[in-house]
Amino acid sequence: MERDFVALAGPIFFVLIALELWVAHRRGQRLYRLNDAINDISTGILMQLTVLVAKGVIVAGYFWIHANFRLADFPSDSAWTWIGCFLGVDLAYYWFHRLSHEINFLWAAHVVHHQSEDYNLAVALRQSSLQPFFSSFFYWPLALVGFPPVVFLACGAFNTLYQFWLHTRTIDRLGPLEAILVTPSHHRVHHGRNPVYIDKNHGGTFILWDRLFGTFEREREEVFYGITKPLASWNPVWANLHYWVELFEIARKAHRPIDKLLTFLKPPGWFPEDQGGFQPPPPVGRDPIQFDPPYPRALRGYAILQFAILVGLTIPMGMLKESLSLDIKWAGIALVGWGLVNLGGLFEGRAWSLPSEAIRVFVSPLVPLFVLSGPPAWITAGFLALGLPAFLLKQASLVPASPRRGGEPSGGPAEAGGDAALTRP
């Protein structure tokens, strides 16, 4: 199944991220910020956890249509079936991806992937928890045509995995391949918030669709990454919800009932006339990074360790999800989600984050003892307890510095390694 392949590829993703870090270090490039990279991967983990409990709902429509309404029977052992299905998957992905940039309610489910102001392989893992529920409809015509579910899921997995390597600045243009395949150069354009780059290069594997349907753009000027209004948060849950909140607020303020509906159907930047009308994307400034709050140096090692523990809990959950009971899944989701939100709060300097983290590191080793039995309970509890010593040793220096607003100069004492003790609510 598509997400099973992606879960199995998790360790490979981290090896390739380490390789990109090494290449960037050799070249003297700074491609990663710890807080941003952890936030990128955190949103991807939340998406995987959502799929953990909702995979059946997401793919049920495809299976049902294929079982009851397929127009033909394509043999799964035919090369032409696989070629046709892959082309169909990539075309369906193009239209889903394109419309996700042109319709507000779809953008609300896709914007998560574009929030990072960095561009690296960790950004490839930055995914929305809600997007799979919206994207699934675009693939139903393939079920109606008659492509077998096993072929569809495998082609979808390859299409997803192919896009991982596109999220890098370490690879330049690739000559003749640029005419056929989506390359890192093409996808850098897609992630740009430069007005000339917005809503361009939507293809997953083949750039031919963009050339055919008029959405192609070459990489010309320096790319400034992120969204036009920065998220300004390291909270992975808020990353999934913030644009929905904005849309509902616009709809609430709209006077005409039709404008309340159009708020969700119009493109990003659209506002009712009584709220100022359409607002085009602003030109980019001189600073490519709009949100970069400082944090104490002591937080780095602690965050890396705790994040590694959370990832170490998530990967086997994804691999073994078919054999896990629903209560175990929900317990794992609660523990991992809690930890990821806490780490985001610590990086932002939120006043609630340190008490919440203290409770989590003491409570989490106890949870497996209530939901598991036998050796798995004690092994999991011991694994989660690895975070306790780090918290006890560093608790006095884990209160991050009060972050600056986006656009202010960097280099404060906390970013340089000081342990400033200011927090915000």
34 shares its domain with 70: yes
> Would residue 73 count as lying in a domain?
yes
For range 193-211, the mean pLDDT: 97
12 shares its domain with 115: yes
Confidence of residue 321 (pLDDT cuts 50, 70, 90): confident
> Would residue 403 count as lying in a domain?
no
- CA torsion angle 293 299 304 310 (round to 10): -90
Instruction: Classify the phi-psi angles of 343: left when phi > 0, otherwise alpha if psi is within -120 to 50, otherwise beta.
Output: alpha
> Would residue 284 count as lying in a domain?
no
What are the pLDDT digits (tens) for 164-178? 999 999 999 999 999
139 shares its domain with 29: yes
Asked if residue 79 has pLDDT above 60, the reply is yes
150 shares its domain with 108: yes
91 shares its domain with 133: yes
251 shares its domain with 184: no
Share of the chain above pLDDT 70, in %: 90
**Strand-pair partners of 350:** 424
Burial 366-375 (b: 16+ CB within 10 A, else e): ebbeebbeee
For range 369-391, the mean pLDDT: 85
> Would residue 98 count as lying in a domain?
yes
332 shares its domain with 385: yes
pLDDT, averaged across the chain: 89
Task: Yes or no: say if 224 and 116 are a contact pair by the CB < 8 Å rule.
Answer: no
271 shares its domain with 328: no
197 shares its domain with 59: yes
Asked if residue 413 has pLDDT above 80, the reply is no
Asked if residue 6 has pLDDT above 90, the reply is no
> Would residue 161 count as lying in a domain?
yes
**Which SS3 state, helix, strand or coil, does residue 350 take?**
strand
For range 87-110, the mean pLDDT: 98
158 shares its domain with 41: yes
What are the pLDDT digits (tens) for 120-142? 999 999 999 999 999 999 999 99
165 shares its domain with 196: yes
127 shares its domain with 242: no
Look at residue 414 in the predicted model and tell me its pLDDT.
38
> Would residue 270 count as lying in a domain?
yes
> Would residue 150 count as lying in a domain?
yes
Look at residue 396 in the predicted model and tell me its pLDDT.
52
Q: Work out how many domains the chain is built from and give that number.
A: 3
Look at residue 411 in the predicted model and tell me its pLDDT.
36
Look at residue 5 in the predicted model and tell me its pLDDT.
61
Instruction: Report the run of H or E that residue 135 belongs to, with start and end.
Output: helix 131-135
Highest mean pLDDT: which range of 306-315, 391-400, 401-410: 306-315
| 343: containing domain | 298-397
Q: Which residues are CB-neighbours of 257 under 8 A, at least 6 positions away?
A: none
CA distances in angstroms from 300 to 85, 233, 336, 363, listed in the order given: 45, 18, 19, 23
Sign of the alpha-carbon torsion through 138, 140, 144, 149: positive
> Would residue 227 count as lying in a domain?
no
Query: Which has the minimum average pLDDT: 59-68, 147-156, 379-388?
Result: 379-388
